[in-house]
């Protein structure tokens, strides 16, 4: 199975936003809280920028972006507009570490000074905008997709609530994920369980999340195609 779909940058066209080839590897921060308490205390620039900027036919996400830690090498992410731009550390914001308590962990943030926009780096064990840890979610989804064969992982009541909501959300994501992944999914109309098992035959959840972000510019539980746009400095 190949993940080389080559999607990732939004292209402006008459029919709305299609996906262009040769995408960068980021996706922007989701702008709405999935539910209260999952996003932390500070969310970076909050303005909404509905205008589109075209760069050689490509439309780039604008505003704060989020990349997965393993999507780049080195101690900081490159600027998605121009990898030669200097990117500086730019503080951090707190995000709830898990579903179970109010403990927060810092998400590092970087600033491309020429572009004037920030890039936050999500640890690989984190889901975008969900407090539930990636390893726990993976085990729960495995159990949901294989009832009677794979036991549910131990979880607290709060975690069980998070996990239940996440699986319910994933069940709603089957059609858009199929549309994105296309021929990589062999079943014509897979159930959520079939889709999950097929994704898992390919890889583990951290890798699935990374590869949905790059090149597909999406994620497991959210559609990131409703984007702000990041324009190149002129
Ligand atoms: Zn830049």
Q: At what angle do helices 192-202 and 174-181 cross, to 10 degrees?
A: 40
pLDDT band at 2 (very low <50, low <70, confident <90, very high): very low
What is the mean pLDDT of the segment spanning 23-41?
33
The rounded Å distance from CA 56 to ligand 1 centre is 16
Choice between 86 and 117, residue whose per-residue pLDDT is larger: 86
What is the mean pLDDT of the segment spanning 189-211?
90
β-strands 104-112, 58-59: how paired?
unpaired
Q: Is the confidence at residue 27, as pLDDT, over 70?
A: no
Nearest to 23 by CA among 64, 48, 60: 60
Q: Could you tell me what percent of the chain has a pLDDT over 70? A: 66
Whether 230 and 61 have beta carbons less than 8 Å apart is answered as yes
The rounded Å distance from CA 85 to ligand 1 centre is 5
The rounded Å distance from CA 64 to ligand 1 centre is 12
The rounded Å distance from CA 66 to ligand 1 centre is 14
C-alpha pair distances (Å), 76 with each of 51, 81, 201: 28, 15, 31
Q: Is the confidence at residue 40, as pLDDT, over 70?
A: no
The rounded Å distance from CA 169 to ligand 1 centre is 34
What is this structure's pTM? 0.63
The rounded Å distance from CA 81 to ligand 1 centre is 5
The rounded Å distance from CA 232 to ligand 1 centre is 7
Choice between 97 and 65, residue whose per-residue pLDDT is larger: 65
The rounded Å distance from CA 142 to ligand 1 centre is 39
The rounded Å distance from CA 94 to ligand 1 centre is 24
What is the mean pLDDT of the segment spanning 149-155?
96
The rounded Å distance from CA 140 to ligand 1 centre is 39
pLDDT of amino acid 105: 76
**Residue-wise pLDDT tens digits, 41-74:** 333 332 222 223 333 333 344 456 788 888 889 9
What is the mean pLDDT of the segment spanning 94-101?
72
pLDDT band at 37 (very low <50, low <70, confident <90, very high): very low
pLDDT of amino acid 174: 92
The rounded Å distance from CA 112 to ligand 1 centre is 5
Q: Could you tell me what percent of the chain has a pLDDT over 90? A: 27
pLDDT of amino acid 10: 33
pLDDT of amino acid 210: 83
The rounded Å distance from CA 196 to ligand 1 centre is 36
Q: How far is CA 128 from the centre of its chain?
A: 5
Handedness of CA 86, 89, 94, 97 (dihedral sign): positive
The rounded Å distance from CA 67 to ligand 1 centre is 14
The rounded Å distance from CA 219 to ligand 1 centre is 24
Report the mean per-residue pLDDT for the chain.
Answer: 70
């Amino acid at each position: 199975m190949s993940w080389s779909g080559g999607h990732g940058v939004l292209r402006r066209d008459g029919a709305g936003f299609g996906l262009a080839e040769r995408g960068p590897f980021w996706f922007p921060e989701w702008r709405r809280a999935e539910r209260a308490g999952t996003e932390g205390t500070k969310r970076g620039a909050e303005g909404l920028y509905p205008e589109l900027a075209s760069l050689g036919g490509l439309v780039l996400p604008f505003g704060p972006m989020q990349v997965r830690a393993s999507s780049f090498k080195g101690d900081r992410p490159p600027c998605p507009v121009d990898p030669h731009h200097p990117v500086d550390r730019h503080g951090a914001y707190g995000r709830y570490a898990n579903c179970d308590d109010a403990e927060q962990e810092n998400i590092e943030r970087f600033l491309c000074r020429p572009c004037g926009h920030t890039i936050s780096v999500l640890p690989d064990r984190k889901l975008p905008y969900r407090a539930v840890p990636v390893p726990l979610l993976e085990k729960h989804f495995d159990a949901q997709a294989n009832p009677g064969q794979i036991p549910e992982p131990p979880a607290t009541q709060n975690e069980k609530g998070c996990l239940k909501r996440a699986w319910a959300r994933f069940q709603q994501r089957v059609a858009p994920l199929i549309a994105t992944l296309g021929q990589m999914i062999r079943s014509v109309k897979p159930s959520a369980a079939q889709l999950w098992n097929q994704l898992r035959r390919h890889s583990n959840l951290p890798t699935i999340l990374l590869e949905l972000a790059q090149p597909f510019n999406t994620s497991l539980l959210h559609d990131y195609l409703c984007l702000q746009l990041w324009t190149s400095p002129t």
